[in-house]
Structure 1
Amino acid sequence: MAKIKLVCFDLDDTLIREIHSVMLPCILNGKEKEHSLIQEQEEKGVIDYISADYLRAELLLGLEESKIAKSFLEIAKPLKNIKSVVDALHNQTIKCIVITVGPKQVAKVVCDIWGFDGYYGSDYDVVQGVFNGKIINYIRAEQKVACLQDFCANNNIKPEECIAVGDGSTDIPIFKYCGQSIAINSSPEVKRCAKYVVDTNDLTDILKYII
Protein backbone atom coordinates (compact mmCIF):
# COMPACT_ATOMS: atom_id res chain seq x y z
CA MET A 1 0.00 0.00 0.00
CA ALA A 2 1.32 3.44 -0.96
CA LYS A 3 2.12 5.86 1.84
CA ILE A 4 -0.64 8.44 2.21
CA LYS A 5 0.52 11.98 1.42
CA LEU A 6 -2.80 13.80 1.05
CA VAL A 7 -6.31 13.70 2.50
CA CYS A 8 -8.93 15.55 0.45
CA PHE A 9 -12.07 16.63 2.33
CA ASP A 10 -15.46 17.61 1.04
CA LEU A 11 -17.05 20.47 3.01
CA ASP A 12 -20.85 20.33 3.16
CA ASP A 13 -22.16 17.48 5.36
CA THR A 14 -18.57 16.28 5.72
CA LEU A 15 -16.85 18.97 7.80
CA ILE A 16 -19.92 21.12 8.48
CA ARG A 17 -23.49 19.89 8.80
CA GLU A 18 -27.00 21.37 8.45
CA ILE A 19 -25.75 24.86 7.54
CA HIS A 20 -24.13 24.43 4.12
CA SER A 21 -21.39 26.60 2.65
CA VAL A 22 -23.75 28.56 0.38
CA MET A 23 -26.52 28.68 2.98
CA LEU A 24 -24.25 30.39 5.51
CA PRO A 25 -23.69 33.59 3.46
CA CYS A 26 -27.39 33.60 2.56
CA ILE A 27 -28.17 33.72 6.29
CA LEU A 28 -25.63 36.51 6.76
CA ASN A 29 -27.34 38.45 3.97
CA GLY A 30 -30.78 38.05 5.52
CA LYS A 31 -31.97 35.66 2.79
CA GLU A 32 -32.59 32.50 4.80
CA LYS A 33 -36.27 32.30 3.81
CA GLU A 34 -35.48 32.69 0.11
CA HIS A 35 -32.79 30.02 0.44
CA SER A 36 -35.31 27.64 1.99
CA LEU A 37 -37.67 28.08 -0.97
CA ILE A 38 -34.87 27.20 -3.41
CA GLN A 39 -33.92 24.22 -1.24
CA GLU A 40 -37.51 23.02 -1.32
CA GLN A 41 -37.61 23.20 -5.12
CA GLU A 42 -34.38 21.23 -5.34
CA GLU A 43 -35.61 18.54 -2.94
CA LYS A 44 -38.83 18.16 -4.96
CA GLY A 45 -36.82 17.71 -8.16
CA VAL A 46 -38.17 20.87 -9.76
CA ILE A 47 -34.58 22.11 -10.28
CA ASP A 48 -31.21 20.35 -10.12
CA TYR A 49 -28.46 21.20 -7.63
CA ILE A 50 -26.50 23.26 -10.15
CA SER A 51 -29.47 25.46 -11.08
CA ALA A 52 -30.27 25.79 -7.39
CA ASP A 53 -26.76 27.02 -6.62
CA TYR A 54 -26.93 29.69 -9.32
CA LEU A 55 -30.20 30.90 -7.78
CA ARG A 56 -28.62 30.88 -4.32
CA ALA A 57 -25.71 32.92 -5.64
CA GLU A 58 -28.16 35.70 -6.53
CA LEU A 59 -29.16 35.85 -2.85
CA LEU A 60 -25.62 36.93 -1.94
CA LEU A 61 -25.89 40.21 -3.83
CA GLY A 62 -24.54 43.03 -1.67
CA LEU A 63 -22.98 40.82 1.04
CA GLU A 64 -19.54 41.88 2.22
CA GLU A 65 -17.12 38.98 1.85
CA SER A 66 -15.43 39.83 5.17
CA LYS A 67 -18.61 38.94 7.09
CA ILE A 68 -18.08 35.25 6.36
CA ALA A 69 -14.87 35.00 8.38
CA LYS A 70 -16.28 37.16 11.17
CA SER A 71 -19.42 35.07 11.67
CA PHE A 72 -18.55 31.60 10.40
CA LEU A 73 -18.12 29.88 13.77
CA GLU A 74 -21.26 31.56 15.13
CA ILE A 75 -23.43 30.00 12.41
CA ALA A 76 -21.68 26.88 11.06
CA LYS A 77 -22.14 23.49 12.73
CA PRO A 78 -18.79 21.71 12.31
CA LEU A 79 -17.96 18.18 13.33
CA LYS A 80 -15.91 17.86 16.50
CA ASN A 81 -12.12 17.96 16.47
CA ILE A 82 -11.43 19.14 12.92
CA LYS A 83 -8.29 20.98 14.03
CA SER A 84 -7.10 17.92 15.97
CA VAL A 85 -7.40 15.78 12.85
CA VAL A 86 -5.56 18.29 10.66
CA ASP A 87 -2.78 18.53 13.26
CA ALA A 88 -2.53 14.74 13.57
CA LEU A 89 -2.23 14.38 9.79
CA HIS A 90 0.36 17.14 9.61
CA ASN A 91 2.36 15.33 12.29
CA GLN A 92 2.55 12.41 9.85
CA THR A 93 3.59 14.78 7.03
CA ILE A 94 0.19 14.30 5.37
CA LYS A 95 -1.30 17.35 3.66
CA CYS A 96 -5.01 18.22 3.95
CA ILE A 97 -7.16 20.14 1.48
CA VAL A 98 -10.81 21.07 1.05
CA ILE A 99 -12.64 20.71 -2.28
CA THR A 100 -16.28 21.80 -2.45
CA VAL A 101 -18.89 22.70 -5.02
CA GLY A 102 -19.78 25.54 -2.63
CA PRO A 103 -18.26 29.02 -2.62
CA LYS A 104 -14.47 29.12 -2.52
CA GLN A 105 -14.82 32.17 -0.27
CA VAL A 106 -16.28 29.91 2.43
CA ALA A 107 -13.71 27.19 1.75
CA LYS A 108 -10.96 29.76 2.33
CA VAL A 109 -12.37 30.61 5.75
CA VAL A 110 -12.47 26.91 6.63
CA CYS A 111 -8.87 26.59 5.48
CA ASP A 112 -7.77 29.56 7.59
CA ILE A 113 -9.62 28.46 10.75
CA TRP A 114 -8.51 24.83 10.86
CA GLY A 115 -5.15 24.97 9.09
CA PHE A 116 -5.78 23.11 5.84
CA ASP A 117 -3.05 23.26 3.21
CA GLY A 118 -5.28 24.38 0.37
CA TYR A 119 -8.84 24.80 -0.83
CA TYR A 120 -10.90 24.72 -4.03
CA GLY A 121 -14.49 25.78 -4.61
CA SER A 122 -16.86 27.49 -6.98
CA ASP A 123 -15.72 31.04 -7.72
CA TYR A 124 -18.50 33.40 -6.67
CA ASP A 125 -17.91 36.85 -8.12
CA VAL A 126 -16.78 39.48 -5.62
CA VAL A 127 -16.13 43.09 -6.65
CA GLN A 128 -14.35 45.39 -4.19
CA GLY A 129 -15.11 42.99 -1.35
CA VAL A 130 -18.83 42.61 -2.13
CA PHE A 131 -20.67 39.67 -3.74
CA ASN A 132 -22.50 40.63 -6.92
CA GLY A 133 -24.80 37.61 -7.15
CA LYS A 134 -22.94 35.77 -9.93
CA ILE A 135 -20.73 32.70 -10.25
CA ILE A 136 -17.61 32.98 -12.40
CA ASN A 137 -16.65 29.31 -12.37
CA TYR A 138 -18.83 26.53 -10.98
CA ILE A 139 -17.20 23.34 -9.66
CA ARG A 140 -19.24 20.28 -10.63
CA ALA A 141 -18.61 16.75 -9.37
CA GLU A 142 -16.22 15.85 -12.19
CA GLN A 143 -14.28 19.09 -11.73
CA LYS A 144 -13.50 18.12 -8.16
CA VAL A 145 -11.11 15.56 -9.65
CA ALA A 146 -9.45 18.29 -11.75
CA CYS A 147 -8.96 20.36 -8.59
CA LEU A 148 -7.32 17.42 -6.84
CA GLN A 149 -5.12 16.78 -9.86
CA ASP A 150 -4.00 20.40 -9.80
CA PHE A 151 -2.93 20.20 -6.16
CA CYS A 152 -1.24 16.83 -6.68
CA ALA A 153 0.69 18.07 -9.70
CA ASN A 154 2.01 21.02 -7.72
CA ASN A 155 3.00 18.82 -4.77
CA ASN A 156 4.31 15.69 -6.52
CA ILE A 157 1.55 13.44 -5.15
CA LYS A 158 0.16 10.39 -6.96
CA PRO A 159 -3.54 9.31 -6.94
CA GLU A 160 -2.70 6.17 -4.95
CA GLU A 161 -1.19 8.40 -2.25
CA CYS A 162 -4.53 10.21 -1.70
CA ILE A 163 -7.55 9.54 0.48
CA ALA A 164 -10.85 11.27 -0.26
CA VAL A 165 -13.32 11.96 2.57
CA GLY A 166 -16.87 12.91 1.62
CA ASP A 167 -20.57 12.24 1.98
CA GLY A 168 -22.42 12.99 -1.25
CA SER A 169 -22.87 11.99 -4.86
CA THR A 170 -20.54 14.78 -5.99
CA ASP A 171 -17.75 12.96 -4.13
CA ILE A 172 -18.10 9.68 -6.03
CA PRO A 173 -15.82 10.69 -8.97
CA ILE A 174 -13.08 11.73 -6.55
CA PHE A 175 -13.57 8.49 -4.57
CA LYS A 176 -12.89 6.56 -7.77
CA TYR A 177 -9.80 8.63 -8.57
CA CYS A 178 -8.10 8.33 -5.18
CA GLY A 179 -6.30 5.26 -3.90
CA GLN A 180 -8.62 5.12 -0.89
CA SER A 181 -11.87 6.74 0.21
CA ILE A 182 -13.89 7.28 3.37
CA ALA A 183 -17.65 7.89 3.26
CA ILE A 184 -18.70 9.89 6.31
CA ASN A 185 -22.35 10.28 7.40
CA SER A 186 -23.36 9.43 3.86
CA SER A 187 -26.14 7.79 1.89
CA PRO A 188 -26.14 4.06 1.03
CA GLU A 189 -25.22 4.93 -2.58
CA VAL A 190 -22.08 6.78 -1.51
CA LYS A 191 -21.16 4.14 1.07
CA ARG A 192 -21.11 1.50 -1.66
CA CYS A 193 -18.49 3.54 -3.54
CA ALA A 194 -16.14 3.99 -0.58
CA LYS A 195 -13.47 1.71 0.87
CA TYR A 196 -14.30 2.75 4.44
CA VAL A 197 -17.53 3.96 6.05
CA VAL A 198 -17.90 6.11 9.17
CA ASP A 199 -21.00 7.54 10.83
CA THR A 200 -19.94 10.01 13.49
CA ASN A 201 -20.00 13.55 14.87
CA ASP A 202 -16.29 13.35 15.73
CA LEU A 203 -13.85 13.63 12.83
CA THR A 204 -11.11 11.82 14.77
CA ASP A 205 -12.98 8.58 13.98
CA ILE A 206 -11.51 8.65 10.47
CA LEU A 207 -7.88 8.62 11.69
CA LYS A 208 -7.79 4.85 12.24
CA TYR A 209 -8.17 4.41 8.49
CA ILE A 210 -5.36 6.83 7.64
CA ILE A 211 -2.58 6.64 10.25
Structure 2
Amino acid sequence: MLKEKIDTVILDIDGTLTETISWYEITEGLGASRATHVDIFEERFRKGKLSYLDAKKELIGLWRSTRNANKKYMEKMFRSWKFKKDVVEIVEYLKKFYRLCLISGSVDLYVEAIAERLGIPHWYANTDLIWDKEGNLVDLNYYADQAAKKLEQFNEFISRNNIEKERCSVIGDGDSDIALFRELHYGIAVNKDPHPELESLAFKMIKELKEIKKIL
Protein backbone atom coordinates (compact mmCIF):
# COMPACT_ATOMS: atom_id res chain seq x y z
CA MET A 1 0.00 0.00 0.00
CA LEU A 2 1.28 3.45 -0.90
CA LYS A 3 -0.67 5.60 1.53
CA GLU A 4 2.46 6.60 3.43
CA LYS A 5 4.39 7.42 0.26
CA ILE A 6 1.94 9.43 -1.84
CA ASP A 7 -0.77 12.01 -1.24
CA THR A 8 -1.89 12.86 -4.80
CA VAL A 9 -3.33 10.77 -7.63
CA ILE A 10 -3.51 11.92 -11.26
CA LEU A 11 -6.27 10.29 -13.30
CA ASP A 12 -6.65 9.92 -17.05
CA ILE A 13 -10.22 9.65 -18.39
CA ASP A 14 -10.49 7.90 -21.78
CA GLY A 15 -9.77 4.19 -21.38
CA THR A 16 -9.22 4.65 -17.64
CA LEU A 17 -12.52 5.93 -16.26
CA THR A 18 -14.49 5.28 -19.46
CA GLU A 19 -14.36 2.55 -22.11
CA THR A 20 -14.36 4.85 -25.11
CA ILE A 21 -12.27 7.47 -26.90
CA SER A 22 -14.16 10.68 -26.25
CA TRP A 23 -13.12 12.41 -29.49
CA TYR A 24 -14.89 9.79 -31.60
CA GLU A 25 -17.78 9.61 -29.15
CA ILE A 26 -18.27 13.36 -29.54
CA THR A 27 -18.46 12.99 -33.31
CA GLU A 28 -20.97 10.14 -33.14
CA GLY A 29 -22.93 11.77 -30.32
CA LEU A 30 -23.39 14.91 -32.41
CA GLY A 31 -24.68 12.76 -35.26
CA ALA A 32 -21.64 12.94 -37.56
CA SER A 33 -19.52 10.24 -39.21
CA ARG A 34 -16.78 8.57 -37.16
CA ALA A 35 -15.18 7.35 -40.40
CA THR A 36 -14.87 10.93 -41.64
CA HIS A 37 -13.31 11.97 -38.32
CA VAL A 38 -10.78 9.12 -38.58
CA ASP A 39 -9.96 10.15 -42.14
CA ILE A 40 -9.36 13.77 -41.11
CA PHE A 41 -7.09 13.11 -38.15
CA GLU A 42 -5.62 9.62 -38.43
CA GLU A 43 -5.32 9.21 -42.18
CA ARG A 44 -4.40 12.75 -43.19
CA PHE A 45 -3.40 15.04 -40.28
CA ARG A 46 -1.20 12.55 -38.38
CA LYS A 47 0.42 11.41 -41.63
CA GLY A 48 1.31 14.96 -42.63
CA LYS A 49 -1.17 15.17 -45.49
CA LEU A 50 -3.25 17.86 -43.81
CA SER A 51 -2.15 20.92 -41.84
CA TYR A 52 -3.29 21.53 -38.28
CA LEU A 53 -5.42 24.49 -39.33
CA ASP A 54 -7.07 22.59 -42.17
CA ALA A 55 -7.69 19.52 -39.99
CA LYS A 56 -9.25 21.68 -37.32
CA LYS A 57 -11.40 23.48 -39.88
CA GLU A 58 -12.65 20.19 -41.33
CA LEU A 59 -13.45 18.68 -37.93
CA ILE A 60 -15.32 21.77 -36.74
CA GLY A 61 -17.18 21.82 -40.05
CA LEU A 62 -18.10 18.16 -39.60
CA TRP A 63 -19.44 18.79 -36.11
CA ARG A 64 -21.29 21.99 -37.06
CA SER A 65 -22.95 20.26 -40.02
CA THR A 66 -25.06 18.28 -37.53
CA ARG A 67 -26.53 21.50 -36.05
CA ASN A 68 -25.83 20.02 -32.61
CA ALA A 69 -22.42 21.59 -32.00
CA ASN A 70 -23.58 23.96 -29.29
CA LYS A 71 -22.75 24.19 -25.60
CA LYS A 72 -26.18 23.20 -24.30
CA TYR A 73 -26.42 20.05 -26.41
CA MET A 74 -22.84 18.97 -25.73
CA GLU A 75 -23.07 19.53 -21.96
CA LYS A 76 -26.18 17.34 -21.83
CA MET A 77 -24.46 14.70 -23.96
CA PHE A 78 -21.35 14.60 -21.77
CA ARG A 79 -23.39 14.21 -18.60
CA SER A 80 -25.19 11.20 -20.07
CA TRP A 81 -22.09 9.18 -20.93
CA LYS A 82 -21.37 6.15 -18.77
CA PHE A 83 -18.31 5.42 -16.68
CA LYS A 84 -16.63 2.06 -16.40
CA LYS A 85 -18.01 -0.27 -13.77
CA ASP A 86 -16.96 0.68 -10.21
CA VAL A 87 -15.58 4.11 -11.19
CA VAL A 88 -17.79 6.13 -8.84
CA GLU A 89 -17.05 3.77 -5.95
CA ILE A 90 -13.29 3.80 -6.59
CA VAL A 91 -13.12 7.58 -6.92
CA GLU A 92 -14.99 7.96 -3.63
CA TYR A 93 -12.50 5.57 -2.04
CA LEU A 94 -9.52 7.49 -3.41
CA LYS A 95 -10.92 10.83 -2.25
CA LYS A 96 -10.76 9.61 1.35
CA PHE A 97 -6.97 9.36 1.22
CA TYR A 98 -5.64 11.42 -1.70
CA ARG A 99 -5.89 14.71 -3.53
CA LEU A 100 -7.21 13.91 -7.03
CA CYS A 101 -6.67 15.64 -10.35
CA LEU A 102 -7.98 14.76 -13.81
CA ILE A 103 -5.56 15.34 -16.71
CA SER A 104 -7.13 14.35 -20.01
CA GLY A 105 -6.35 14.56 -23.70
CA SER A 106 -9.97 15.44 -24.40
CA VAL A 107 -11.93 18.71 -24.63
CA ASP A 108 -12.46 21.07 -21.71
CA LEU A 109 -16.27 20.94 -21.58
CA TYR A 110 -16.17 17.14 -21.33
CA VAL A 111 -13.44 17.02 -18.69
CA GLU A 112 -15.25 19.67 -16.64
CA ALA A 113 -18.46 17.60 -16.79
CA ILE A 114 -16.61 14.47 -15.64
CA ALA A 115 -14.93 16.40 -12.82
CA GLU A 116 -18.26 17.75 -11.61
CA ARG A 117 -19.96 14.35 -11.80
CA LEU A 118 -17.18 12.75 -9.74
CA GLY A 119 -16.64 15.66 -7.37
CA ILE A 120 -13.01 16.22 -8.37
CA PRO A 121 -12.07 19.92 -8.06
CA HIS A 122 -8.82 19.83 -10.05
CA TRP A 123 -8.83 19.11 -13.79
CA TYR A 124 -6.96 19.86 -17.01
CA ALA A 125 -7.94 19.25 -20.64
CA ASN A 126 -5.91 19.13 -23.82
CA THR A 127 -8.34 21.14 -25.91
CA ASP A 128 -10.25 24.38 -25.33
CA LEU A 129 -13.57 24.69 -27.14
CA ILE A 130 -14.44 28.22 -28.27
CA TRP A 131 -18.05 29.39 -28.50
CA ASP A 132 -19.83 32.39 -29.97
CA LYS A 133 -22.28 34.54 -27.98
CA GLU A 134 -25.12 32.11 -28.72
CA GLY A 135 -23.13 29.14 -27.45
CA ASN A 136 -22.33 27.66 -30.85
CA LEU A 137 -18.94 26.04 -31.40
CA VAL A 138 -16.76 28.20 -33.63
CA ASP A 139 -13.19 27.07 -32.95
CA LEU A 140 -10.92 24.91 -30.78
CA ASN A 141 -7.33 24.94 -29.57
CA TYR A 142 -5.81 21.45 -29.78
CA TYR A 143 -2.31 20.30 -28.77
CA ALA A 144 -1.06 17.50 -31.01
CA ASP A 145 1.54 16.26 -28.50
CA GLN A 146 -0.88 15.23 -25.79
CA ALA A 147 1.77 13.52 -23.66
CA ALA A 148 3.91 16.66 -23.47
CA LYS A 149 0.83 18.77 -22.72
CA LYS A 150 -0.19 16.45 -19.88
CA LEU A 151 3.28 16.70 -18.35
CA GLU A 152 3.18 20.49 -18.62
CA GLN A 153 -0.23 20.56 -16.93
CA PHE A 154 0.95 18.20 -14.20
CA ASN A 155 3.89 20.47 -13.41
CA GLU A 156 1.57 23.47 -13.30
CA PHE A 157 -0.78 21.62 -10.94
CA ILE A 158 1.88 20.57 -8.44
CA SER A 159 3.48 24.02 -8.53
CA ARG A 160 0.18 25.77 -7.81
CA ASN A 161 -0.67 23.42 -4.98
CA ASN A 162 2.79 22.99 -3.42
CA ILE A 163 2.82 19.24 -4.08
CA GLU A 164 5.97 17.14 -4.17
CA LYS A 165 6.35 15.22 -7.42
CA GLU A 166 7.68 12.23 -5.50
CA ARG A 167 4.39 11.95 -3.63
CA CYS A 168 2.27 11.59 -6.77
CA SER A 169 0.86 8.57 -8.56
CA VAL A 170 -0.67 8.49 -12.03
CA ILE A 171 -3.33 6.12 -13.34
CA GLY A 172 -3.66 5.84 -17.12
CA ASP A 173 -3.73 3.55 -20.13
CA GLY A 174 -2.62 5.26 -23.33
CA ASP A 175 0.22 6.91 -25.22
CA SER A 176 -0.77 10.34 -23.91
CA ASP A 177 0.18 9.11 -20.42
CA ILE A 178 3.72 8.00 -21.33
CA ALA A 179 5.46 11.24 -20.32
CA LEU A 180 3.79 11.16 -16.88
CA PHE A 181 4.75 7.51 -16.40
CA ARG A 182 8.35 8.39 -17.21
CA GLU A 183 8.26 11.29 -14.76
CA LEU A 184 6.56 9.53 -11.84
CA HIS A 185 7.71 6.40 -10.05
CA TYR A 186 4.22 5.27 -9.09
CA GLY A 187 2.54 4.88 -12.46
CA ILE A 188 -0.37 2.44 -12.55
CA ALA A 189 -1.43 1.17 -15.97
CA VAL A 190 -5.08 0.16 -16.11
CA ASN A 191 -6.92 -1.67 -18.89
CA LYS A 192 -6.91 -5.15 -20.33
CA ASP A 193 -4.83 -3.86 -23.21
CA PRO A 194 -2.85 -0.75 -22.14
CA HIS A 195 -0.33 0.97 -24.39
CA PRO A 196 2.72 -1.38 -24.69
CA GLU A 197 5.25 1.24 -23.57
CA LEU A 198 3.37 1.77 -20.32
CA GLU A 199 4.05 -1.84 -19.36
CA SER A 200 7.79 -1.23 -19.06
CA LEU A 201 7.28 2.09 -17.26
CA ALA A 202 4.48 1.09 -14.89
CA PHE A 203 4.96 0.52 -11.17
CA LYS A 204 1.90 -1.72 -11.27
CA MET A 205 -0.42 -3.16 -13.93
CA ILE A 206 -4.12 -3.75 -13.32
CA LYS A 207 -6.91 -4.95 -15.60
CA GLU A 208 -9.81 -3.35 -13.76
CA LEU A 209 -9.98 -0.14 -11.76
CA LYS A 210 -11.35 -1.92 -8.68
CA GLU A 211 -7.93 -3.55 -8.22
CA ILE A 212 -6.59 -0.13 -7.23
CA LYS A 213 -7.70 -0.73 -3.64
CA LYS A 214 -4.93 -3.33 -3.32
CA ILE A 215 -2.31 -0.75 -4.26
CA LEU A 216 -3.49 2.65 -3.00
Query: TM-score, length-normalised on structure 1?
Result: 0.83
The one-character-per-residue Cα deviations of 1:189-211 (angstroms, maximum 9, x if unpaired) are 221221111112xx22222221x
Unaligned residue ranges in structure 2 (runs of 5+): none
Identity of aligned residues (%): 23
SS, match of residue 22 in structure 1:
helix
Query: Where in structure 1 do 4 or more consecutive aligned residues deviate above 6 Å?
Result: none
Residue 196 of structure 2: aligned partner: 188
User: Out of 13, 16, 27, which is 1:14 matched to?
Assistant: 16
Residue 46 of structure 2: aligned partner: 48
Q: Is 1:60 aligned to residue 63 of structure 2?
A: yes
Check whether the contact 1:65–1:126 (CA below 8 A) recurs between aligned residues.
yes
Check whether the contact 1:198–1:206 (CA below 8 A) recurs between aligned residues.
yes
SS, match of residue 59 in structure 1:
helix
Between the aligned partners of 1:117 and 1:73, the Cα distance in structure 2 is: 16
**Cα drift, residue 182 of structure 1:** 0.6
Count of matched residue pairs:
201
The one-character-per-residue Cα deviations of 1:66-123 (angstroms, maximum 9, x if unpaired) are 223323354x34211222222112211x111111121011000100111112111111
Q: Of the two, which has the highest radius of gyration?
A: 2
Match of 1:197, as an amino acid? M
Check whether the contact 1:159–1:179 (CA below 8 A) recurs between aligned residues.
no
Q: CA RMSD in A?
A: 2.6
Query: TM-score, length-normalised on structure 2?
Result: 0.81
**Cα drift, residue 137 of structure 1:** 4.7
Between the aligned partners of 1:170 and 1:8, the Cα distance in structure 2 is: 13
Match of 2:29, as an amino acid? L
Match of 1:191, as an amino acid? E
Check whether the contact 1:181–1:195 (CA below 8 A) recurs between aligned residues.
yes
SS, match of residue 63 in structure 2:
coil
Residue 103 of structure 2: aligned partner: 99
Between the aligned partners of 2:95 and 2:112, the Cα distance in structure 1 is: 18
Unaligned residue ranges in structure 1 (runs of 5+): none
Between the aligned partners of 2:173 and 2:27, the Cα distance in structure 1 is: 22
Q: Is 1:123 aligned to residue 128 of structure 2?
A: yes
Between the aligned partners of 1:151 and 1:116, the Cα distance in structure 2 is: 14
Check whether the contact 1:29–1:59 (CA below 8 A) recurs between aligned residues.
no
Check whether the contact 2:173–2:198 (CA below 8 A) recurs between aligned residues.
yes
